[in-house]
Chain A
Amino acid sequence: MEELITVQGVSFRYHEDQPHVLRDVSLSVYKGEWLAIVGHNGSGKSTLAKLLNGLQLPEQGDVLVEGYNSRDEESIWEIRRRVGIVFQNPDNQFVGTSVRDDVAFGLENSGMARELMLERISESVLKVRMEDYLDQEPHRLSGGQKQRVAIAGIIALRPSIVILDEATSMLDPAGRKEVLQTMRKLKEEEGMTVISITHDLEEAAQADRLVVMNAGEVIDEGLPVEVFKKGDMLEQIGLDLPFPLQVQRALSEKGYDFSRLTLSQEELVNELWTLQLKV
């Protein structure tokens, strides 16, 4: 698998007299995967996102995006074009006075000709299903719609990686579903690489791969089913296990054995009704 981002032994702190936010972090992001980075508040996961896009530079170690090192001043703009971030607050990242203006913002920054911009804009709003709202003002949109516009603004630049930095944490359940579905569709249809930074393990359970962070360090990495086997460890660092997993763990304490880990409600239901069959 092609490696898009390489993080090598990165340490980072905001001020010299403050403790490190990231300590010797190394990880790789591969093309076309959905990588979830989970951790409690203050685990350094959002800081990591800023390093991946060159908004912050590592104190030690290197961040390489498709071969561009974020330390080179010239490659910063190449990196920012390749890595887009959807931030947490839907309002605070909406720059334009209308949906069209906002989607255009990144394109304008790259100095694109107007005709091409219009093409890219209609193409990307179609992908996030916001084509009917082009002239809408931001205060008339819901949180989920604003986040979808943010996604459109990013994919209009045709990046290789989209980072969702707690992008669904301020949304209601409907908005959350709408944003995640949009991203999943983009990943499947366009082969987009997605890094989702979250403390919602239910969301992370849907990922291809999981990186667990705590106190600025990567403490575990692997397939969601593998990582979730270490439920105690996840609970210890302050994360809430997905509900199906909680049910399963409570039942195993009572002596029921499950053949496999259940991460979704459907899997749990299937396990539960076949449990008695096996007995």
Chain B
Amino acid sequence: MQNIIIGQYVPGQSFIHKLDPRAKLITAFLFVIIVFLANNWITYALLGAFTLLAIFVSRLPLRYIYNGLKPILLVIILTFLLHVFLTKEGPLLFDWGFLEIYEGGVKQGVFISLRLLFLIMITSLLTLTTTPIDITVGIETLLGPMKKVGLPVHEFALMMSIALRFIPTLLEETEKIMKAQSARGAQFSSGPIKERLKSIVPLLVPLFVSAFKRAEDLAMAMEARGYRGGEGRTSIRLLKWSGKDTTLFVILLLLCISLLLLRS
């Protein structure tokens, strides 16, 4: 219980870890867009080089990247196969009567799979190298101007940070309730699915009751400490834009320009 890491964050001291969360958020966002610029081998190679370089610089063990890819791997394989079998472009490569594979199909399949692969890798790199609270602060600052149009940016960020704060507390509580219910003969891990779902009820009800009680207490404590919404509030968390972040943007700009020049 003492070692829970919320989210996927892997602590580290690399160049990417030390980047401003805002820079990382914007980069991930822009990357999602420029990935669509690539449409030939050389542009995909460029994107691949950028992604692999980022992973290398982050000094993260590769299994973390792989773990991030696992849930999406099936989707990637499926899209690849769909393109291979269904796209009928270019010269014919194989012909087994009922099955025809064209060169264009293989090319499309590889491209689309690579595109997905790069997207997932870059976004998981963001969550692997940034603490959830830093991401929250980053989003809050980036969306700051949206407050003027009435978007509750501060409230959203506060909600996120309180949720993050209470995840371990509620996990601990769940464990406690589970033990208490097991002591009275409840079984959580055996029997058919229907039984197992039913056995969650005596777990959820007390958990919710106590969560509401906590929320009420917390609201009161916050009010007692002078909380009155986001207006006129200052923040202890300071984001610092450094030379590293500007470097990242320059690299991103270069990547973007070369993609535009090299795409066919």
Contacts and interface: CB of A to CB of B under 8 A. Distances in A.
Interface stretch (B112-120, B140-148, B188-196, B221-229): B221-229
Contacts of A96: 161, 165
Contacts of B139: none
B182 interface: no
B235 A108 contact: yes
A97 B133 contact: yes
Given A94-B165, A96-B165, A97-B164, A109 B221 contact: no
A87 interface: yes
A92 B221 contact: yes
Contacts of A254: none
Given A93-B217, A101-B237, A111-B233, A153 B225 contact: yes
B214 interface: yes
Nearest to B4: A139
A84 to B, nearest CB: 7
Contacts of A111: 232-234
Interface string A142-174: 000000000001100100000000000000000
Nearest to A156: B225
B236 A55 contact: no
Contact of A55 (B169, B213, B220, B228): B220
B162 interface: yes
A139 B234 contact: no
Interface in A66-107: 77, 80-81, 84-85, 87, 89, 91-97, 100-101, 104-107
A113 interface: yes
Interface string A115-149: 00110010000000000000001111000000000
A269 interface: no
B12 to A, nearest CB: 16
Interface string B225-252: 1111000111111100000000000000
A109 B223 CA distance: 10
A95 B227 CA distance: 11
Given A91-B169, A139-B172, A77 B218 contact: no
A112 interface: yes
A95 B165 contact: yes
A95 B221 contact: yes
A110 interface: yes
B48 interface: no
Contacts of B235: 108, 114
B13 interface: no
Nearest to B133: A97
A82 to B, nearest CB: 11
Interface string B158-175: 000110110011001000
A153 B236 CA distance: 13
B-side binding surface: helix, strand, loop or mixed?
helix
Given A93-B221, A95-B218, A109 B236 contact: no
A50 B219 CA distance: 13
Given A53-B224, A92-B214, A139 B169 contact: yes
Interface string B172-184: 1000000000000
Given A108-B235, A109-B226, A154-B225, A87 B217 contact: yes
Given A92-B217, A94-B165, A139-B169, A105 B225 contact: yes
Contact of B227 (A109, A112, A117): A109
A39 to B, nearest CB: 20
Contacts of A139: 1-2, 4, 168-169, 172
B2 A140 contact: yes
B224 A101 contact: no
Contacts of B232: 111
Contact of A91 (B214, B233, B236): B214
A100 B236 contact: yes
B234 A80 contact: no
25 contacts: A55-B220, A55-B223, A85-B221, A89-B217, A92-B221, A93-B218, A95-B165, A95-B221, A96-B161, A96-B165, A105-B225, A107-B234, A108-B233, A108-B235, A111-B232, A112-B234, A114-B234, A114-B236, A114-B238, A138-B165, A138-B168, A139-B2, A139-B172, A153-B225, A157-B225
Counting from the closest, the 5 A-B pairs by CB-CB distance are: A92-B217, A93-B221, A104-B236, A139-B168, A106-B225
Given A80-B226, A138-B168, 14 more contacts: A80-B225, A84-B225, A91-B169, A92-B214, A92-B221, A93-B217, A93-B218, A100-B236, A101-B237, A104-B236, A108-B233, A109-B225, A139-B168, A157-B225
Interface of B: 1-2, 4, 133, 161-162, 164-165, 168-169, 172, 213-214, 217-218, 220-228, 232-238
